[in-house]
Structure 1
Amino acid sequence: MVPAAATAEESTDTAQYVTVGQRRLAYATYGDPTGRPVLFCHGTPGSRLLGRLLDAPATERGIRVIAPDRPGIGDSDGAAVGIDDWPDDAAALLSHLDADRAGVLGFSGGAPYALACHRLAAVESVTLVSGAGPPGVGETGRAQRAMGALARHVPWLCSPLVRLQRWALARRDPDAALDLVAQRPPETEALSTDEVARLVKADVLAATARGPSAVVRELGLLAEPWPVDLRDVSVPVTVFQGRRDRNVAPETGAALARRLPEATLERVDSDHLGSLCVAAGRALRGPTPV
């Protein structure tokens, strides 16, 4: 359960922290502070800040979104944490918040991190929105494949490219960041297109605030065989896939759903980020727990 002392003031982009070993993991919370917990696994590049996109639908539906920065991202201390290590961080955060039952929502490159959490006793369901697939399952966009290959095989070359992208985005209009993840202005329940664009820009810049190494590491991990066997995922999974997604090919959602033991595919008439905006309410609810 969530502590009764939680207050609405906790729904903020300002980082809160939990200690994991010798390092700090930063997180923010959104939505209903006393609602059902849902752990949000951000994309790559991305950060806890994108959780703000879920604030209004989560509040309306009695959901508390818990959005951490993965190690080396945003305000979290750096560490060589792999996909299979992430559940330990997630467990520490959920325990810190007294969340003994929770859903998990993985967006885009957060998909493997969300699926890896299936082994935690607290996790009752997983939802993927515009979720990347492991190599050989579906397909990502050309730019994503190229960066993944560089990150996996020549990370020393990928790092300057990530730095250059950050430098350029920091100096450009927020629409430039939005163009990376959406082909049309996204529709949300509470935020204007300009607000979403500013949010996406802040999210991408936060991802590399500590330098490019964590993002490069994650890009490489996404491009190599995942340590998560899709056939072993032991909780219900709902897969939301945009029909007009250019970052993760539309067939990826179907391919993921076919390989997961207990999965439901829901197609969304939108692009990459738009699918998260359109499907936020349904995605936060997740499957009905057994």
Structure 2
Amino acid sequence: MPDNHTSLTFRLPDGRKLGYARYGSVNGDPFFYFHGMPGSRYEAQLLEASARALGLCICAIDRPGYGLSDYVADRSIINWPNDVAALADALDIETFGIIAVSGGGPYALACAHEIPGRISTTGIVCGLGPVHVATLRNEMHWLARSGFFLARKSPTLLRNLYGRPLKWLSCLRPDITFRLLARCHGEADRQVLSRKDIRDLLSGSLRESFRQGPFASTRDVVLYQRPWGFELENIHKQIHLWHGDADRIVPCQHSQFIHSKLPDSILTVVPDEGHFSLPIVHTRAILAALKKD
């Protein structure tokens, strides 16, 4: 999988390394892609064909500790826009769009809050809401709820009980990983995950996400269940939200909550689509809507 477009690195002003990949049309309209949790820059390969057809250049960034990006033990969600802006400066990109999926959603919202003047459009697909709000947390699968509980009580225990086994499964037995995923998902997601090309792509992204161990994913879970460092009501950029009403991983109530708090947002609820099927099946339509915006 690695080549000269998918294993790129950049040195941030503080000396840290940031990993990223480029997909789509090299000279197209620039978009930054924020992966889910766990995930990596390879995840954006799902957008390659649609981005190329629409004339978009997708720059997918590894968050600290994922893939090629250096781990930062004390990072926060609100710090992320600084890394994004620094990479944009290095690539000579003045303004850019953002497309985020699942656990990348909070980081997209942080950018809309912190660097609104750099952003042309923002799209969040099946985005995670602020799970420090109990009503949102309680809508989630019991495995997710217990992960957030451990994140509050003992991040070390979370890493040992969740992070390390998931790393082992993702790297050594992806077949078991996808069988377990299928049990948690509805029919639309099971159909998508039954495709070998999709399983192979997602397996590669999962392996890359754990290149440095489970520390980054554990840190994300800890950060998700804390206050994010900004208020949704103070985001004045327009945000496009998409969510499937059959999503069993991050229920649609998360996007509905975010939509209710944002001063300017458009929520599209897609019937019968799940957590994987929505961003995979509707990639072209979502990117086209953001390009038009």
TM over 0.5: yes
Query: In the comparison of the two structures, how many residue pairs are matched?
Result: 276
Residue 275 of structure 1 aligns with an amino acid whose one-letter code is L
Aligned residue for 1:225, secondary structure, equals coil
Aligned residue for 1:50, secondary structure, equals helix
Q: Hey, what's the Cα distance between the residues in 2 that align with 1:158 and 1:264?
A: 35
Counterparts of 1:110-189 in structure 2, within 5 Å, are: 110-118=104-112, 119-120=114-115, 121-135=117-131, 136=133, 138=136, 139-161=139-161, 162-174=163-175, 176-177=177-178, 180=181, 183-186=189-192
CA RMSD of aligned residues (A): 2.1
Q: Hey, what's the Cα distance between the residues in 2 that align with 1:103 and 1:211?
A: 30
Bigger mean CA offset, 133-142 vs 114-123: 133-142
8 Å CA contact 2:12, 2:83 repeated in 1? no
User: Structure 2 residue aligned with 1:280, among 280, 283, 292?
Assistant: 283
Q: Hey, what's the Cα distance between the residues in 2 that align with 1:41 and 1:23?
A: 18
State the partner residue of 1:74.
67
The offset of 1:95, in angstroms, is 1.0
| 1:32 has 2:25 as partner | yes
8 Å CA contact 1:241, 1:253 repeated in 2? yes
The offset of 1:245, in angstroms, is 0.5
8 Å CA contact 1:174, 1:198 repeated in 2? no
Q: Hey, what's the Cα distance between the residues in 2 that align with 1:44 and 1:226?
A: 16
Structure 1 residues 196, 21: closer, same or farther in 2, change over 3 A? same
Structure 1 residues 267, 87: closer, same or farther in 2, change over 3 A? same
Bigger mean CA offset, 203-212 vs 231-240: 203-212
Structure 1 residues 259, 273: closer, same or farther in 2, change over 3 A? same
Q: Hey, what's the Cα distance between the residues in 2 that align with 1:77 and 1:178?
A: 31
State the partner residue of 2:202.
200
Q: Hey, what's the Cα distance between the residues in 2 that align with 1:93 and 1:132?
A: 24
The offset of 1:226, in angstroms, is 1.7
State the partner residue of 1:53.
46
Structure 1 residues 179, 279: closer, same or farther in 2, change over 3 A? farther
* Unpaired segments ≥5 residues, structure 1: 1-8
8 Å CA contact 2:100, 2:108 repeated in 1? yes
Q: Hey, what's the Cα distance between the residues in 2 that align with 1:165 and 1:184?
A: 20
TM normalised by structure 1 equals: 0.88
Counterparts of 1:254-265 in structure 2, within 5 Å, are: 254-265=256-267
8 Å CA contact 2:126, 2:250 repeated in 1? yes
Q: Hey, what's the Cα distance between the residues in 1 that align with 2:98 and 2:179?
A: 24
Aligned residue for 1:28, secondary structure, equals strand
The offset of 1:158, in angstroms, is 1.1
8 Å CA contact 1:26, 1:75 repeated in 2? yes
Residue 39 of structure 1 aligns with an amino acid whose one-letter code is F
Identity of matched residues, %: 31
8 Å CA contact 2:169, 2:176 repeated in 1? no
Bigger mean CA offset, 248-257 vs 233-242: 248-257
8 Å CA contact 2:171, 2:206 repeated in 1? no
Structure 1 residues 236, 155: closer, same or farther in 2, change over 3 A? same
User: Structure 2 residue aligned with 1:99, among 73, 93, 106?
Assistant: 93
Structure 1 residues 43, 282: closer, same or farther in 2, change over 3 A? same
8 Å CA contact 2:23, 2:47 repeated in 1? yes
Give CA-to-partner distance per residue, 1:182-232, whole Å, 9 cap, x none.
532229xxxx92111011112122222111111111111111122131111
Structure 1 residues 223, 259: closer, same or farther in 2, change over 3 A? same
Residue 52 of structure 2 aligns with an amino acid whose one-letter code is T
Q: Hey, what's the Cα distance between the residues in 1 that align with 2:26 and 2:103?
A: 26
Residue 190 of structure 2 aligns with an amino acid whose one-letter code is R
Q: Hey, what's the Cα distance between the residues in 2 that align with 1:30 and 1:246?
A: 29
8 Å CA contact 1:47, 1:73 repeated in 2? yes
The offset of 1:63, in angstroms, is 0.8
Q: Hey, what's the Cα distance between the residues in 1 that align with 2:264 and 2:196?
A: 38
Give CA-to-partner distance per residue, 1:235-289, whole Å, 9 cap, x none.
1111100111111112222221121111111112311011111232233242755
Q: Hey, what's the Cα distance between the residues in 1 that align with 2:247 and 2:220?
A: 21
TM normalised by structure 2 equals: 0.87
* Unpaired segments ≥5 residues, structure 2: none
Residue 81 of structure 1 aligns with an amino acid whose one-letter code is R
